[in-house]
Amino acid sequence: MDDQHLDNAVLLGLQEVMEDEYPQLLETFINDSRDRLGTLQQALGAADAQTLRLAAHSFKGSCSNMGAPLLAGLCRQLEDAARRECLEEVPALLERIAAEFAIVSIRLKGELQRHRFG
């Protein structure tokens, strides 16, 4: 699974540290990420740059910890746009974040299947 969407070395490290809790970590990340995307959409709808910035910052850290570098980078761009209060940049970034999360989610679900049944 060594590709641009997920860092295999990070996932292997997490698997070693988390052991039997690794599948739960993956599921938690997927579910929490869906919630974070919803928070970002709501903040955009409310034109709330501060909430966007904080949510993007938190999501960025989570993505970095899970070895999703492209997703983390997009969250960093969103955080920067919100910090500058350039909300006109946000819809396109959110679309890219949602698309990248869809890819990451599919790959992590595959990782879950390999871990459980492999």
Query: Locate tokens 């909430």: which residue?
Result: 51
- What is the model's pLDDT at position 67? 96
Number of structural domains found in the chain? 1
Q: CB atoms < 10 A from the CB of 113, how many?
A: 11
Q: Which amino acid, residue 101?
A: F
Residues with pLDDT less than 70, the chain = 1-2, 118
| pTM, entire model | 0.94
Q: What is residue 2's predicted lDDT score, i.e. its pLDDT?
A: 44
In-domain check, residue 108? yes
pLDDT of residue 113: 92
Confidence at residue 115, expressed as pLDDT on a 0 to 100 scale: 84
User: Residue 3 falls within a domain, yes or no?
Assistant: no
CATH of the domain at 77: 1.20.120.160
